[in-house]
Structure 1
């Protein structure tokens, strides 16, 4: 038996599907659309911030290793609002506190320097990672929210079949289309969020590795200076 379903294309348009949907499905669609807009705003802002931070960190590190006087460089760049500058400032501050007295504990100073700069790196990475949890949440939750709208729409379609006592596709097609549209919106919100989360996590890991390498190099520089000063 051939079943012919004559459905107007305008009726199956996204706007028509939204307007014809049940209020529960509408609520799900609106929530997913708002989540998608929020996700894209975070993606654009975070991508800009991450790219700008990476370039400035590279410039700061290049200038630091070219500098001949650490104190002079600190006076110029020590108050810079960059993750690597804060790691640098943490190391300089701990160095000055540890060497302020006459007797210097070399092992204790090295340990405090490593701890201070390690804590600074962790704190800066936490700040950079802010809002990534939103992308992770949208990426993991949005498909299930869309699936809830799908289940609700299909339940509504079966209710329409029972009310009309008619198993024709023309009775159930609108409800099923609305339900599947909710799933599509859920995927539309989730897929960019997951991709962006993975890419940004990779970018932050690269910055963290760069900060740790800088902290290790700076620690080695201060350790050598500590050795030369204690021999005097």
Structure 2
């Protein structure tokens, strides 16, 4: 008999059972946190793949650029590339082409405009890569409090059950408290991966921004030498 009772209790306190037994408010909190967790993991997977692909393609582009002898031919062959290094290159190259059309060439003005164009392109590419990181930051900071709201509501419901039954035994209190703690667990389950991923992706984006900045400086120096040779 005791083993049967323990098995019954284990089933009744399973996650599915706790969800089904919860009232509408706690159910809504749980569903919200589950949806936030699924959304978080979809962003984590997509960002991980995107940043990995971006890093590899940027490295390949910069390696090809270092080997290029003709900037014009290199620009034509890579004009369709969507990756950050290529976009920074195209922004700088477009500004350089526009600046050298006027005669005589204002070398100092051209260098200043090139610097602005390259810096803006770097910032724009990083902004695009970081587009959905704000979702991870929001989930990481808000999800524990949403879970805490479910916890408070579940405990209030437990106290209401105690008052209605006029019985303080564990059998009366346990279901409501279990639901409350389950809501807290779901909040942490959504928040912890979001915070870890946000910090990790922010670090990778900072490294990528520094890399794009170095590439922009190198490209600026190359174009500056071209300006010195221009008539």
TM-score by structure 2 length?
0.95
Distance 2:153 2:127 in 1: 39
Give the drift of 1:168: 1.3
Q: Which residue matches 2:120?
A: 119
Distance 1:17 1:104 in 2: 75
Give the drift of 1:27: 0.5
Distance 1:74 1:129 in 2: 26
Distance 1:75 1:163 in 2: 78
1:41-52 counterparts in 2 under 5 A? 41-52=42-53
* Structure 2 residue matching 1:10: 3-state secondary structure: helix
- Alignment of 1:129 onto 2:130: yes
Q: Which residue matches 1:27?
A: 28
C-alpha root-mean-square deviation of aligned residues, in Å? 1.2
Q: Answer yes or no: is the 8 Å Cα contact 1:78–1:88 preserved in 2.
A: no
Q: Which residue matches 1:204?
A: 205
Distance 1:91 1:47 in 2: 28
Give the drift of 1:78: 2.3
Structure 1 gap segments, 5+ residues each:
none
Q: Which residue matches 1:101?
A: 102
1:144-155 counterparts in 2 under 5 A? 144-155=145-156
Give the drift of 1:229: 2.3
Distance 1:101 1:59 in 2: 34
Give the drift of 1:10: 0.6
Matched pairs, number: 226
Runs (4+) of structure 1 exceeding 4 A deviation are: none
Q: Which residue matches 1:180?
A: 181
Q: Which residue matches 1:79?
A: 80
- Alignment of 1:157 onto 2:158: yes
Q: Which residue matches 2:111?
A: 110
Give the drift of 1:170: 1.4
Give the drift of 1:79: 2.4
Q: Which residue matches 2:194?
A: 193
Q: Which residue matches 1:88?
A: 89
More displaced, 23-32 or 7-16?
7-16
* Structure 1 residue matching 2:11: 3-state secondary structure: coil
TM-score by structure 1 length?
0.95
* Structure 2 residue matching 1:33: 3-state secondary structure: helix
Which whole-Å deviations, capped at 9, do the CAs of 1:174-232 have from their partners, x for residues lacking one?
A: 100000000000000010111111111111111111111000001011112212225xx
More displaced, 219-228 or 32-41?
219-228
Distance 1:202 1:81 in 2: 22
